[in-house]
Amino acid sequence: MKKSLALLLVLALSISVFAGCGKKAVETAGGGDLPTIGVTIYKYDDNFMSFVRRAIEKNAEGSATLVLNDSQNDQAKQNEQVDLMISKGVSVLAINLVDPQAAATIISKAKDANLPLVFFNKEPSATDMASYDKCWYVGTTSAESGIIQGELIVEAWKANPEWDKNGDGILQYVLLKGEPGHPDAEARTTFAVSTVTDAGIKVEELELQTGMWDTVKAKELMDTWLSKHGDAIEFVIANNDGMALGAVSSLQAEGYFTNDKFMPVVGVDAIPDVLTKIEEGTMIGTVLNDAANQGKATVDLSRNVGQGKDPLEGTSWILDETKAVRVPYVAVTMENIEMAKKSYE
């Protein structure tokens, strides 16, 4: 009798444990294991990418496991990180390339492992993208940010004729360029200026050098340019907000933005520090590079393909003919700064 009672008790406890385990799995994973997304960021201390990473972490909560890597702006290190993630059995790779030219190498690794692959923020070539049917991209249309930045410059220049300090009818500018060869850097540099000239404004390039997206490097360049050109500079164009902040720091050290001494500066990204500068009147505008939605789209696509689903299942994203989700840019000035702030909530 005692033995029978003991067996019944063990059986009841076993049923209870298994029932509890089953309930827990349904609650956390919808009846299956969470996909593991192997993520690399080209470098964690990039101003903009820090917000993309934050968005990726936020959107993965409860729906995917993340393996996050800082590639420290080293392509060889990123290649090793990809090898390690593959060996550990991730479900999908989500890669922010250090060097877009390395896309073929990453694709080859993913192909060999039969893993789906989502690139984000740095776009591989069309040839590379077409070489693998399990490969997608999340980012922007590079030219769009340059065009919008150019439109900001045109509107502001026409509204403030006093910015033409020498009265020659020509906009004398310096331009802080991002990483050479980076699709965004090349497009922003080209289209920001061409949009201004297409509007009938004459321009003169006083300086154009790469600040590598970096605030400190940009400050050093601006220091040199101010020493060389001084008040002959009439406009500062930066490929990203990080470099714009470096330029502003340099200008402030020379007494700009006090009394009537002013220099128009524009950037791209709409990071919070720059939104503050716009409110203070030390920058005239920027272009929202939507980190929140780039991070969300990266997780949405990666989670789906990591589970063997259609990349767009359950989302509102749209793929273009290059298998890319394009998150739109938006001009940001004092008039719509609250909209930009909301993108970080």
Position of tokens 């060097």?
Answer: 99
Element (H, E) at 336: none
pLDDT for position 5: 37
Residue range(s) in the chain whose domain bears CATH number 3.40.50.2300: 36-140+290-327, 143-288
The CATH number given to 36-140+290-327 is 3.40.50.2300
- Cα–Cα distance, 246 to 130 (Å, whole number): 38
> What type of residue is 287?
V
Specify the 3-state DSSP secondary structure of 237: strand
Q: In this predicted model, what pLDDT tens digit does every residue of 14-24 receive, in sequence order? A: 333 333 332 22
Q: Report the length, in residues, of the chain.
A: 345
Residue 334 gets which letter from DSSP? G
Name the β-bridge partners of 184: none
- Cα–Cα distance, 19 to 11 (Å, whole number): 12
Name the β-bridge partners of 7: none
% of the chain beyond a pLDDT of 90: 88
pLDDT for position 97: 97
User: Cβ of 127: how many Cβ atoms within 10 Å?
Assistant: 9
pLDDT for position 28: 23
Task: List b or e across 174-183, with b for residues whose CB sees 16 or more CB atoms inside 10 angstroms.
Answer: bbbbbbeebb
Specify the 3-state DSSP secondary structure of 138: strand
pLDDT for position 81: 98
CATH fold of the domain at 143-288 = Rossmann fold (3.40.50)
CB proximity list for 129: less than 8 A, separation 6 or greater:
103, 135, 137, 322, 323, 324
- Cα–Cα distance, 58 to 186 (Å, whole number): 31
pLDDT for position 343: 85
- Cα–Cα distance, 49 to 295 (Å, whole number): 9
pLDDT for position 9: 35
Q: Where are the alpha helices (DSSP H) in the chain?
A: 2-29, 47-60, 75-87, 103-113, 126-130, 142-159, 183-198, 215-229, 241-253, 272-280, 291-306, 337-342
Model confidence, pTM: 0.81
Q: In this predicted model, what pLDDT tens digit does every residue of 308-337 receive, in sequence order? A: 999 999 999 999 999 999 999 999 999 999
pLDDT for position 344: 84
Residues lower than pLDDT 70 in the chain: 1-32
Copy the structure tokens of residue 47. Answer: 């101003």
- Residue 154: φ, ψ to 5°: -60, -50
pLDDT for position 18: 30
